[in-house]
Structure 1
Amino acid sequence: MTSPWSAFPVQIPQPSIRGLSQITKSLFISNGVAANNKLLLSSNQITTVINVSVEVANTFYEDIQYVQVPVVDAPVARLSNFFDSVADRIHSVEMQKGRTLLHCAAGVSRSAALCLAYLMKYHAMSLVDAHTWTKSCRPIIRPNSGFWEQLIHYELQLFGKNTMQMMDSPMGRIPDIYEKETRLMIPL
């Protein structure tokens, strides 16, 4: 396991929502359109693309390895079945001095959730810290409630404790880190 901050860029990267968002020195998140942009892939030296969707087809480019994680963006989808295998693959690519692009359709829910799982497993980050960091790099991340529940369980499995929990709100079950934001959205 690498130390928590050794793989992170020296400076916090400029947040990106359209192109590739750099999370660590070797991990990026994007949407499906950006993931099929040869110029973006080559200029960021991407060697592995992990497609976490059933609806986005990849354009296959030479010298890039592709992994398909066929999961829909639905709270009942078992994304946790892929937490370890995807985290292990990202870590393996990093150890080989490669770079991974993790993408789903929008780069908001599925790819973000797998990114959080990776940061917890290989950078020993709490779920709260992994979320805070990833959101600073890609402000639009927002895993669905089912993925949050799975991430909370994964954090407990990895560390024996949780740094966040699910709570009931007028908008349904949400992670407690969204409580303040949700209150601002509900009219008085």
Structure 2
Amino acid sequence: MITSSLSDEEVKSMVQGPGDIEWRYEMRRECQEILPGLLLGPFIVSKSAETMRSLGVTHVVCIRDAKEAFSVKPRFPDQFQYLTLDVQDNEEQNLIRLFPNAKAFIEQAIANGGRVLVHCNGGISLSPAFVIMFVMQYYKLSWEDALHLVQNRRYCISPNGGFLAQIKEYEAIYRASNAVASHPPVARSMTRRKREDEDDDEEDLRMDDRKRRNQDGEDEPDEDAMQL
């Protein structure tokens, strides 16, 4: 996962977003750049190949409710790379299980110099939840800062209560993952080597003991007799 470490001041400035943009109602029908190379918006943006080309879009994450599949779908597969996720836009939908595919798709596109449009039907609840989780891990933010960062660029977002609960849960998941990645299992391998060395030492002591008994004229125990 590509990540970007920021100072406290940089985080504060990043979360606040551009202060010179006046939000207008009609802007909800447009897409907004959330971080370099990542745009968030409604399905209507993805219906125009010309619009996406003008925005430099190369990849599209199409997130849709299954019942919308007849209309919310990849329109230009010969011009853009698509990832389509079929979900249910309700509070019971498990987003965390679906997020890794979206994350891998987005980060690979950005790493290769691409620009990704993430959209659902309205760009209000479903697709913003995925983008918030991505931004959270990308900038190593709390869920609240990630939510505000996205909201300060696309003011109309409003993930439902179930999605917000999962966004909060994902903060603990990604922080635990980062902690494990930053502390490789050196201790376990050292413990294993130590245990192997101790086993070798014990075997050497047993061999020395047998040699000493032989030199003193003592008989070795009869293993077959001991088993009877």
TM over 0.5: yes
Task: Measure the CA separation in 1 of the matches of 2:59 and 2:113.
Answer: 11
Quote the offset at 1:103 in angstroms: 0.3
- Kindly indicate whether the alpha-carbon contact (under 8 Å) linking 2:39 and 2:118 is maintained by their aligned counterparts in 1: yes
2:58 to 47, 52, 57: 47
Match of 1:102 among 111, 118, 133: 118
Q: Secondary structure at the match of 2:30?
A: coil
Distance 2:50 2:79 in 1: 14
User: Percent identity between the aligned chains?
Assistant: 26
> Would you say the 8 A contact 2:83–2:102 is kept in 1?
no
Alignment of 1:108-147 (within 5 A): 108-147=124-163
Is contact 1:83–1:114 with CA below 8 Å preserved after alignment? yes
Q: Unaligned stretches of 5+ in structure 2?
A: 177-228
Q: How many residues align?
A: 157
The structure 1 segments of at least 4 consecutive aligned residues displaced by more than 3 Å after TM superposition are: 13-16
CA contact (8 A) 1:87 1:121 kept: no
CA distance in structure 1 between the partners assigned to 2:140 and 2:104 by the alignment = 14
In terms of mean alpha carbon deviation, does 34-43 or 11-20 score higher? Answer: 11-20
Cα deviation for residue 159 of structure 1 reads: 2.3
Query: TM-score, with normalisation over the residues of structure 2?
Result: 0.64
Of the three residues 44, 50, 58, the one matched with 1:33 is 44
Instruction: Look up the SS of the partner of 2:96 in the other structure.
Output: helix
Structure (1 or 2) with the larger CA radius of gyration: 2
Which of the two has greater helix per residue?
2
Partner of 1:183: none
Segments of structure 1 that go 5 or more residues without pairing to the other structure are 161-188
User: Does the aligned pair in 2 maintain the 1:51–1:102 contact within 8 Å?
Assistant: yes
1:17 aligns with 2:28: yes
Question: Is the contact between residue 27 and residue 99 of structure 1 (CA under 8 Å) also seen in structure 2?
Answer: yes
Counterpart secondary structure, 2:40:
strand
Shift, 1:20, TM fit: 1.3
Cα distance in 2, alignment partners of residues 88 and 120 from structure 1: 15
CA RMSD of aligned residues (A): 2.0
CA distance in 2, matches of 1:119, 1:125: 8
1:86 is aligned to 2:95: no
CA deviation profile, 1:81-121 (whole Å, cap 9, x unmatched): 12222122111110000000000010011110000110122
CA deviations 1:45-86 (Å, max 9, x no partner) are 111110110311231253310110101210011111122221
Contact preservation (8 Å) 1:48, 1:101: yes
Asked if 1 retains the 8 angstrom alpha-carbon contact of 2:151 and 2:157, the reply is yes
2:181 is aligned to none
Q: Secondary structure at the match of 1:140?
A: coil
Give the structure 2 partner of residue 149 of structure 1: 165
1:23–1:137 contact (8 Å) kept in structure 2: yes
1:87, 1:122 within 8 Å by CA — same for their partners in 2? no
